[in-house]
A and B are shown apart, each in its own frame.
Chain A
């Protein structure tokens, strides 16, 4: 058994603003999750996209966590591309529940008024797409998101 494994979860995003829930089980042969990298085929799809997940029902990243923090361009050296968690996360056979939300409706954000700019993430954020004929960011749908989870026996 090797001491490292890159476990992948592939999601297909079919429409702007789509939220995809996913479940997975970590490979039993590896004790800890060391890092994560989210691979997106289009740079424009990074803006506004969020990814949260829980491991064995304990939150690791909240649902509003930006994918921007979990990805990198090809200008970053391969050994630096993964986001490494600040502590060892016990994984062995643990179940992952996650949620990915596409952010390409970002330009359609609703102005929440003048009283305060701090907004409730649970609030409906987007204007209706009805009559909106162009894709604001030019993101091509569908696209696939590959979530790479770095498992180790460290």
Chain B
């Protein structure tokens, strides 16, 4: 038995806006959670996706925590490819819970100037997550065209590009060079456990 272990949870995201909840038990021989990292199939899927995480009912990352804060590129030294907790989280065959929300429909967000909140959106109220609730599609995005740009087609490909207006919001995907997201894709959550 080694003094460390990389415990993994694999999620498969099947559609835009899907929320996937998981729970797992930490390996009984390890008493500390030192770090966590996500690995996501397509860069385009990172845009607006969120990941919440709890250990023994205690919130570590809230549900609106952005997934891109937990990923890494290959330009990062291998030993720095995690978010290391300042204080390791104590474990004892603990209940690990998480929820990943895909938000590849970010480009379909409405213009915030029409929001009664005046553009300030509560972190937990990102509207694209409402496209998939309790196993049912509320809104079908199987074929979406905005400003003559194909956003999604029936082949399950969401281009991640475009926007609902002719302008491109700051930080949004470039319509001329969209980062494609293909469904399904996998999210791997790696947790660094130690004794």
Instruction: Assess whether A112 is in contact with B12, with CB atoms less than 8 Å apart.
Output: yes
Task: Count contacts on B: residues with CB < 8 A to the other chain.
Answer: 37
Instruction: Assess whether A69 is in contact with B81, with CB atoms less than 8 Å apart.
Output: yes
Is residue A68 within 8 Å, beta carbon to beta carbon, of the partner chain?
Answer: yes
Q: How far is the CB of A52 from chain B (nearest CB, A)?
A: 10
Q: How far is the CA of A115 from the CA of B81 in the complex (A)?
A: 31
**Which residues does chain B contribute within 8 Å of A62, judged by CB atoms?**
6, 8
Contact with B along A88-106 (1 / 0, CB 8 A): 0100000000000000001
Is residue B135 within 8 Å, beta carbon to beta carbon, of the partner chain?
Answer: yes
Q: How far is the CB of B90 from chain A (nearest CB, A)?
A: 18
Is residue B190 within 8 Å, beta carbon to beta carbon, of the partner chain?
Answer: yes
Q: Which of B60-68, B110-118, B144-152, B178-186 lies at the interface?
A: B178-186
Is residue A85 within 8 Å, beta carbon to beta carbon, of the partner chain?
Answer: yes
**Which residues does chain B contribute within 8 Å of A43, judged by CB atoms?**
74
Is residue A64 within 8 Å, beta carbon to beta carbon, of the partner chain?
Answer: yes
Q: Which of B13-21, B49-57, B166-174 lies at the interface?
A: B13-21
**Which residues does chain B contribute within 8 Å of A114, judged by CB atoms?**
14, 135
Q: How far is the CB of A65 from chain B (nearest CB, A)?
A: 6
Q: How far is the CB of A26 from chain B (nearest CB, A)?
A: 16
Task: Count contacts on A: residues with CB < 8 A to the other chain.
Answer: 45
Contact flag A72-B12 (CB < 8 Å), given A84-B79, A111-B183, A112-B184: no
Is residue B78 within 8 Å, beta carbon to beta carbon, of the partner chain?
Answer: yes
**Which residues does chain B contribute within 8 Å of A107, judged by CB atoms?**
182
Contact flag A109-B185 (CB < 8 Å), given A60-B2, A86-B4, A117-B12: yes
Which residues of chain B from 58 to 112 have a CB within 8 Å of any chain A CB? 74-79, 81, 100
**Which residues does chain A contribute within 8 Å of B124, judged by CB atoms?**
none
Instruction: Assess whether B185 is in contact with A70, with CB atoms less than 8 Å apart.
Output: no
Is residue B39 within 8 Å, beta carbon to beta carbon, of the partner chain?
Answer: yes
- Contacts A48-B41, A73-B75, A117-B18 aside, 18 further interface pairs with beta carbons under 8 A come to A48-B186, A59-B2, A62-B8, A76-B76, A76-B77, A80-B77, A81-B77, A81-B78, A82-B78, A86-B4, A87-B2, A87-B3, A107-B182, A111-B12, A111-B183, A111-B184, A116-B20, A118-B20
A-B contact pairs, 17 of them (CB 8 A): A58-B1, A59-B2, A62-B8, A64-B10, A64-B188, A68-B74, A69-B81, A76-B76, A80-B77, A83-B78, A86-B192, A87-B3, A87-B4, A109-B184, A111-B183, A118-B11, A119-B10
Binding site for A on B (CB under 8 A): 1-4, 6, 8-14, 18, 20-22, 37, 39, 41, 74-79, 81, 100, 135, 182-186, 188, 190, 192, 194
Pairs A-B, 9 closest by C-beta atoms: A117-B20, A80-B77, A83-B78, A75-B75, A86-B4, A118-B22, A87-B3, A111-B14, A73-B74
